[in-house]
Structure 1
Amino acid sequence: MRFLFWRVLPALVSGLLLLAGATEYAVARPSRRTTDVRYVPATDSAYHSERHQLDVYAPKAAAPALRPVVVFIHGGNWDSGSKEFYSFIGRRLAKQGVVAVILNYRLAPQVRVPQMADDCARAVIWTTEHIREFGGDPQRIFVMGHSAGGGLAALLAADDALFQRRGLARNPVRGAVLDDPAGLDMYDYLRRMQYPNDAQYLVPFGKDPAAWKRMSALYHLTAHTPPVVMLIGGETYPSISSSSARFRQRLTALGHAPRYTVLPGKKHIPMVLQLYWQRNIVYQQLLSLVGQPTQ
């Protein structure tokens, strides 16, 4: 999980969008973007004016029924990243008939991963309460994330307590798409400390092994965990490929193996950059999961 590339990801995304500006404009037209929606009340003691915001991307075309919803959680090593970098994902999803929610959440060192997970849960709860206003179905909410965002998405799907402590008796997440996810088993990773600079992850995860396990989705999987789709880069970091394999094994042992695809030749950052193209395999598998025909 040596994510040096996260420091240059904004420039990579910006360059990609500049090179394909005309295409991006064409994709934008079928969608309606609502920006900087507050999902935590300003009166809340934890409120952060920038990090507690989300954007909604909805298809402009009318539909006979409410549409499936995908909540996307960005990566960034738990200490960087912004919803602003991922408008292309919202546009692509909306063009394919999905209502997309792209969110910010608080980052290290200001908070640790438990607070990040709580932020993401609160964004999903906001979605259950308000997504009808955008044509989305609150009964069909799915989560998706890349890298650190993939680990958080997995937690939302697996750890019902994240929602119970916020007053929801039932986890509203109906499935998860994990795109080269990081942090699925930080308990194992931080005990090993086998890579250079691994001590940096003690900032977002703290020094308590019990907290490492609590924030690792692997240890929350049950027979009731909703369907999971996993896409792993063939040349990603060894820690991601190994923890993803264990995650797959645990789900399989519980009786519902995930859809698991290794993309040959793909490194970690290209696993999210490829989402610029609408007919990408990630979107194909996502649409299958949410019950939306491929367009």
Structure 2
Amino acid sequence: MHTSQEPLGSLSATLRQRFAQIGPVWGRDINTHRDLVIDAYSPLVAAARDEGESFEVAREIAYGDHERQRLDVFASAQTREKGSADVVLFVHGGAFLRGSKSFNGLIYDNVSRWFARQGCVALNVEYRLAPEAPYPAGAEDVAAAFTWALKHVAEFGGNPRRIFLVGHSAGGAHVATYLCDPLLAGLRDSAPAVAGAVLISARLVADVLPDNPNAAGVRAYFGADETRYAARSPLTHAAHFDTPLMVVVAEYENPYLDAYGAAFFERVLQARQHAGGAALKRAPRFVQMLGHNHTSVVAHFDSGETLLGDAMLGFFSA
């Protein structure tokens, strides 16, 4: 497979031009533009998959009793034999109402496949959805999946002290909530520290603004009472986020998600500049993926473009 560190570097010139056209108008018709992105990347991800797997996949492992509390584990034979590998626990998006860990057999498997190719143990996590499972159920599922990982990743060659939580969109909200919301403090206090977190295009503020295309999902998950939204938003609690952090946003985001990501980064940075102790002084990282949109920022994994993946591996090893 040809690899590139250029944004959209695995796409044809025609598709890069099309992405450039939809970028500035991404928010006007997110569903149509999302489907275009999935259609563009799926053949590339399928080609990478069909070249021959260099790793094994353990599917539909239960980390809880609910039918959606399932995860897949990707790990190569070499990683299993060597052991002590970094672990990437990925939590997909879906506006709190929808989504699956394997949307079409390719997306979001592609994220875990790419990290498994790099020698990591990669976990692809599914979780309960609203309205059946409202706030803070998603964060509780992240905690449960993390607990499962602590107990079992060594069986796949992973290091339980090197588990990195990665969340996209709603999944990023769940990861951030688990790591800084006071309501989840009991779950955090009873577990070892997370090695690091990457929040990709995460919904870090619960809002139902008129131009939020996913306002219905926010209401379904965070509740009908908007006076509770601030207390339930990860951004409110960012100063208490004491896990090594990398924030990623796309150049063309769903409305406000880039601003929320930047604000979260700033608050964590400011809190750490005034905190004591070497562990808390590690500055967070902020990455804007130029040319990318809310969907392509994860759909491009394992397509040949490695810019974000390489940056994440650098964050893991820092």
| TM-score normalised by L of structure 1 | 0.83
Residues 71, 100 of structure 1: 8 Å contact kept: yes
- 1:244 pairs with 2:264: no
Structure 1 position 252, deviation (Å)? 1.3
Counterpart of 1:83 in 2: which secondary structure?
Answer: coil
- Matching residue of 1:75: 93
Structure 1 position 10, deviation (Å)? 7.4
Counterpart pick for 1:262 among 281, 288, 292: 288
- Matching residue of 1:112: 134
Change (3 A) 1:3 1:91: farther
Structure 1 position 265, deviation (Å)? 2.7
- Matching residue of 2:202: 181
For 1:185, give the aligned amino acid: V
Structure 1 position 57, deviation (Å)? 0.5
For 2:54, give the aligned amino acid: P
Moved more, 169-178 or 127-136: 169-178
Residues 212, 255 of structure 2: 8 Å contact kept: no
- 1:287 pairs with 2:313: yes
Aligned CA RMSD, in angstroms, stands at 2.8
Counterpart of 2:292 in 1: which secondary structure?
Answer: coil
Structure 1 position 198, deviation (Å)? 6.2
Counterpart of 1:107 in 2: which secondary structure?
Answer: coil
Counterpart pick for 2:234 among 217, 221, 228: 217
Counterpart pick for 1:157 among 179, 190, 194: 179
Q: Deviations over 1:6-55 (max 9, x none)?
A: 688578547633455342122x5211100000001xxxxxx322x01100
Equivalent-residue separation in structure 2 for 1:160 and 1:134 (angstroms): 32
- Matching residue of 1:95: 117
Counterpart pick for 1:37 among 46, 54, 61: 61
- Matching residue of 2:10: none
Q: Which runs of 5+ in 2 are unaligned?
A: 1-25, 273-281
- 1:59 pairs with 2:80: no
Equivalent-residue separation in structure 2 for 1:134 and 1:7 (angstroms): 39
Q: Deviations over 1:166-221 (max 9, x none)?
A: 8x524532211111112x122xx34xx34266651211110234642343222233
Residues 179, 232 of structure 1: 8 Å contact kept: yes
Q: Deviations over 1:75-114 (max 9, x none)?
A: 0111111111311111111000110110110111212131
Change (3 A) 1:267 1:8: closer
For 1:23, give the aligned amino acid: A
Change (3 A) 1:9 1:127: farther
Change (3 A) 1:70 1:6: farther
Moved more, 240-249 or 212-221: 212-221
- 1:24 pairs with 2:49: yes
Equivalent-residue separation in structure 2 for 1:104 and 1:202 (angstroms): 21
For 2:199, give the aligned amino acid: L
Residues 163, 170 of structure 1: 8 Å contact kept: no
Equivalent-residue separation in structure 2 for 1:34 and 1:14 (angstroms): 26
Q: Which runs of 5+ in 1 are unaligned?
A: 41-46
Structure 1 position 157, deviation (Å)? 2.9
Moved more, 110-119 or 195-204: 195-204
Structure 1 position 61, deviation (Å)? 1.1
For 2:56, give the aligned amino acid: R
Higher relative contact order (CA 8 A, sep 6+): 2
Residues 75, 157 of structure 2: 8 Å contact kept: yes
Equivalent-residue separation in structure 2 for 1:111 and 1:7 (angstroms): 27
